[in-house]
């Protein structure tokens, strides 16, 4: 699957504006002057390699740098990425008295919380208690594993649900508030059986606004050193493979080694690196919504130290969206109302063969998503006729005004209109014969009052009177499913299961599949990112000066 060595570097990496290695130097670090990078492995990863013992003594070009960096500062913990998982790691480690360095490639903290919906889930929360909801970590675990078809990592899921409630209560104790009526059973994904799902008025930003003052206080206190616009480009390992530091680079290309007793990779997934995303998931990144700095450096760093990647096979698309064009990653033109409880479908859905591939009013969003995942190119067409268009009380694209929607049939590449079904198929790129056969069997079942071939219940009118219309939808995602394999204490592991000493990972760096499985399990990304960060800082990381 990792078939394109050297092709993961993105040419569209954002260029942070605020270089600060000067600041780091003022804070006691010595900017690195010598460079001894070497190409490493099949992925063209630049790796600084430190040799131990006598062999190391011969490596004169690197030793002076090592000594100067080590002499300057030895951090207890280096956190790579000041986002959803990295911020709580630093906050809690600093509370325990650790000397923490946090670096982030972006000029600001917070990472994906700037765009995440921030929906989180946990049991035993103050929000549940306020509503008299009885819940347990066991029930949360059972719900999660049901929703993700038993595909999430059971050990990591257990750890996440056991501590999720405390994470939410910690946020609440620091001012986090949720929307009226929350916690709820669900919201866009498969429902829980107990209301334990909530989010703030500003989604992920609500969470950030709670953590930011705590983080800033730790920086002001001096426990946390923050280096923004500073990206980790390499891990430093000793002769036994233990991680002992991080090589960083600012946007002016200046490098600096930072030495630490623990290194935590919380630099997100690869959702802003289409090539890496495709290599790891075997499917195109159809839209790019991820935080632009998350170009997969987490994965490269972990691989370079001996770790391995898992979870790409768990990829599952969100149900279709209208893309602006076929130049992946494409812009999203509009969403698509496919929830039959909110809008029972009048239209039929077909794939490129013209075949209906699912029951359009299937109440399970997970089944709808997996059905789409199996279609060629993750494409589907919503097909309807004039009567459906005129009589359906609401459109399946409710965010577009009717005029805009109708205009699109003359101008938008995803929209097609024709007088006959055959012509519609040709225009839309759907096999016309397959389409005709699907429509015929759909109509025949309605006419004869027999069961729909796909088991659909809501079918108010047949699809019979032209003009005919088709709108193409494509599967998409907002998360990286693949990530670094870790053990039950979040240590990055090699393929033989052995941990890489001193190296930890959390957040999307460990892959969404680890905690969300092959589904969009409610809150199973943000909550474990926060929770694992908290647990790392609070107790998992160990150090001795």
Least Å from the CB of residue 431 to ligand FAD: 34
d(CA 245, CA 235): 6
Give the Cβ contact number of residue 61 at 10 Å. Answer: 10
Alpha helices in 8-110, H assignment, sequence order: 21-26, 53-57, 63-72, 86-95
d(CA 292, CA 13): 7
Residue closer to ligand FAD, measured from CB, 463 or 529: 529
Residue closer to ligand FAD, measured from CB, 438 or 522: 522
Q: Which of 124, 183, 200, 231 binds ligand FAD (CB under 6 A)?
A: 231
Q: Which of 159, 270, 289, 428 binds ligand FAD (CB under 6 A)?
A: 289
Residue 119 sits in the site that holds ligand FAD (CB under 6 A): yes
Q: Which of 183, 306, 354, 507 binds ligand FAD (CB under 6 A)?
A: 507
Total residues in contact with ligand FAD, by rule CB under 6 A: 42
Q: Are 40 and 301 in contact (CB under 8 A)?
A: no
d(CA 400, CA 396): 9
Q: Which of 478, 492, 503, 514 binds ligand FAD (CB under 6 A)?
A: 478
User: Which range of residues in 48-56, 83-91, 331-339, 457-465 is near ligand FAD by CB under 6 A?
Assistant: 83-91
Residue 88 sits in the site that holds ligand FAD (CB under 6 A): no
Choose among 351, 317, 346: nearest CA to 332: 317
Give the Cβ contact number of residue 437 at 10 Å. Answer: 15
Give Cα 157 distance to the centre of its chain: 16
User: Which range of residues in 99-107, 237-245, 342-350, 442-450 is near ligand FAD by CB under 6 A?
Assistant: 99-107
Residue closer to ligand FAD, measured from CB, 119 or 316: 119
Residue closer to ligand FAD, measured from CB, 104 or 143: 104
| Footprint (CB under 6 A) of ligand FAD, residues 192-211 | 204
Least Å from the CB of residue 300 to ligand FAD: 8
Residue closer to ligand FAD, measured from CB, 224 or 428: 224
d(CA 298, CA 306): 13
Q: Which of 123, 262, 297, 330 binds ligand FAD (CB under 6 A)?
A: 297
Residue 235 sits in the site that holds ligand FAD (CB under 6 A): no
Dig out the tokens for 291 from the structure.
């935080």
Q: Are 49 and 233 in contact (CB under 8 A)?
A: no
Residue 112 sits in the site that holds ligand FAD (CB under 6 A): yes
Residue closer to ligand FAD, measured from CB, 212 or 387: 212
Main-chain phi, psi angles of 339, to 5 degrees: -75, 110
Residue nearest to ligand FAD according to CB distances in the complex: 83
d(CA 510, CA 486): 7
Residue closer to ligand FAD, measured from CB, 330 or 352: 330
DSSP labels, 165-211: HHHHHHHHHTT----TT-SBS-SSSPPPSS--EE--TTTHHHHHHHH
| Footprint on this chain of ligand FAD (rule: CB under 6 A) | 80-86, 103-106, 111-113, 115-119, 204, 231-232, 266-268, 289-291, 293-294, 297, 478-479, 507-509, 523-527, 529
């Amino acid at each position: 699957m990792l078939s394109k060595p050297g092709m993961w570097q993105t040419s569209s990496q954002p260029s942070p504006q605020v270089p600060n290695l000067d600041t780091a130097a003022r804070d006691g670090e010595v900017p690195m002057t010598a460079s001894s990078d070497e190409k490493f492995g099949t992925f063209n990863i630049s790796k600084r390699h430190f040799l131990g013992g006598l062999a190391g003594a011969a490596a004169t070009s690197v030793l002076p740098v090592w000594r100067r960096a080590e002499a300057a500062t030895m951090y207890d913990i280096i956190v790579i990425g000041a986002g959803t998982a990295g911020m709580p790691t630093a906050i809690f480690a600093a509370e325990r008295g650790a000397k923490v360095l946090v670096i982030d490639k972006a000029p600001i903290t917070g990472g994906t919380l700037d765009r995440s919906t921030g929906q989180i889930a946990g049991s035993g929360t103050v929000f549940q208690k306020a509503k008299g909801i009885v819940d347990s970590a066991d029930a949360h675990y059972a719900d999660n594993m049901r929703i993700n078809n038993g595909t999430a990592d059971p050990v990591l899921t257990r750890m996440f649900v056991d501590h999720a409630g405390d994470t939410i209560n910690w946020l609440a104790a620091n001012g986090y508030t949720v929307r009226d009526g929350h916690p709820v059973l669900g919201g866009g994904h498969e429902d829980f059986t107990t209301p334990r799902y909530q989010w703030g008025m500003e989604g992920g930003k609500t969470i950030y606004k709670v953590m930011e003052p705590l983080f800033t206080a730790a920086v002001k206190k001096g426990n946390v050193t923050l280096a923004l616009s500073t990206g980790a480009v390499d891990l430093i390992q000793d002769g036994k493979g233990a991680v002992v530091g991080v090589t960083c680079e600012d946007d002016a290309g200046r490098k600096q080694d930072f030495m630490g007793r623990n290194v935590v990779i919380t630099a997100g997934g690869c959702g802003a690196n289409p090539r890496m995303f495709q290599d790891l998931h075997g499917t195109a990144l159809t839209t790019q919504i991820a935080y632009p700095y998350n170009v997969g450096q987490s994965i490269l760093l972990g691989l370079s130290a001996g770790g391995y990647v898992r979870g790409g096979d768990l990829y599952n698309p969100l149900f279709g969206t209208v893309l602006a064009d076929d130049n992946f990653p494409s812009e999203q033109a509009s969403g698509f109302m496919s929830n039959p409880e909110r809008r029972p479908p009048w239209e039929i859905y077909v794939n490129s063969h013209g075949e209906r591939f699912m029951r359009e009013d299937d109440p399970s969003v997970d089944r709808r998503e997996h059905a789409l995942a199996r279609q060629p190119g993750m494409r589907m067409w919503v097909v309807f006729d004039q009567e459906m268009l005129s009589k359906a009380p609401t459109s399946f694209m409710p965010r577009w005004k009717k005029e805009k929607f109708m205009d699109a049939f003359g101008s938008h590449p995803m929209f097609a209109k024709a007088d006959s079904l055959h012509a519609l198929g040709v225009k839309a790129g759907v096999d016309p014969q397959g389409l005709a056969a699907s429509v015929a069997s759909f109509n025949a079942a309605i006419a004869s009052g027999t069961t729909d071939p796909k088991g659909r219940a809501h079918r108010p009118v047949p699809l019979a009177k032209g003009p005919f219309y088709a709108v193409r939808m494509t599967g998409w995602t907002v998360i990286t499913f693949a990530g670094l394999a870790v053990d039950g204490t979040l240590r990055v592991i090699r393929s033989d299961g052995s941990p890489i000493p001193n190296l930890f990972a959390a957040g999307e760096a460990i892959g969404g599949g680890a905690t969300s499985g092959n589904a969009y399990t409610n809150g199973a990304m943000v909550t474990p990112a926060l929770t694992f960060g908290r647990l790392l800082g609070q107790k998992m990381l160990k150090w001795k000066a």
